[in-house]
């Protein structure tokens, strides 16, 4: 419609989420929340974790190759470290369905961006939704900006009100700094104190 074409003459493509399979790489707090949303839409949920965790309701845990081969959508929710850097590479894209979509809202370098661009050009996968990139901000001349089947957000996809979110986040940091100065335990500490 933005192109001012007669919508009766346009062909539309898309699909329902119901009965699709989503593969969640990293089934921690965020991955489990994504799984719950997907269950609500009637999706089959596959999960991959490196370290065994307790069974999570409505998630079938599989190895990574199975997740790639069976998923209509692959979504990434792992932290970035030496083992996850470029874990999604050309080999992974070749195992995915040609109709698969990859979503990354975790950390950019988990996906090998050059391999992603090749996979998109070759039609190895159908598309991507990226909120994070190997180098941020994403270069103005990045080929990723040229694909019609790629949705890009500047590491803000989860922020309905960016300014409000940042104010809340900075207030959290300030309160934790005050607690540490006062000799108290900060909230959400990741290491032993």
Concatenating the DSSP letter of every residue in 10-71 gives -------STT-EEEEE--SHHHHHHHHHHHHTT-EEEEE-SS-----TT-EE--HHHHHHH-
Q: What is the pTM of this model?
A: 0.82
Q: Is 7-158 a CATH 3.40.50.720 domain? A: yes
pLDDT tens readout for residues 112-138: 999 999 999 999 999 999 999 999 999
Return the active site residues: 107, 136, 155
Q: What's the pLDDT at 149?
A: 95
Do the beta carbons of residue 77 and residue 26 sit within 8 Å?
Answer: yes
Residue with tokens 């290491």: 191
Domain boundaries, the chain: 7-158, 160-193
Q: What integer is the mean pLDDT of 29-46? A: 95
DSSP state of 90: H
């Amino acid at each position: 419609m933005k192109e001012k074409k007669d919508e009766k003459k346009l062909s539309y493509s898309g699909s329902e989420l119901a009965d699709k399979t989503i593969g969640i790489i990293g089934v921690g707090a965020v991955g489990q929340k994504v799984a719950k949303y997907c269950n609500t839409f009637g999706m089959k949920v596959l999960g991959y974790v490196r370290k065994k965790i307790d069974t999570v309701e409505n998630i079938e845990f599989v190895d990574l190759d199975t997740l790639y081969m069976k998923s209509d959508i692959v979504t990434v929710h792992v932290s970035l470290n030496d083992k996850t850097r470029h874990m999604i590479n050309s080999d992974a894209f070749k195992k995915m369905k040609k109709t698969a979509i990859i979503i990354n809202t975790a950390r950019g370098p988990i996906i090998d961006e050059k391999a992603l661009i090749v996979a998109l050009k070759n039609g190895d996968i159908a598309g991507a939704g990226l909120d994070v990139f190997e180098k941020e901000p994403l270069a103005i001349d990045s080929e990723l900006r040229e694909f019609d089947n790629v949705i890009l957000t500047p590491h803000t996809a989860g922020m309905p009100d960016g300014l409000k979110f940042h104010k809340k986040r900075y207030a959290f940091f300030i309160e934790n700094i005050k607690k540490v100065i006062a000799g108290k335990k900060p909230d959400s500490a990741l290491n032993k104190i």
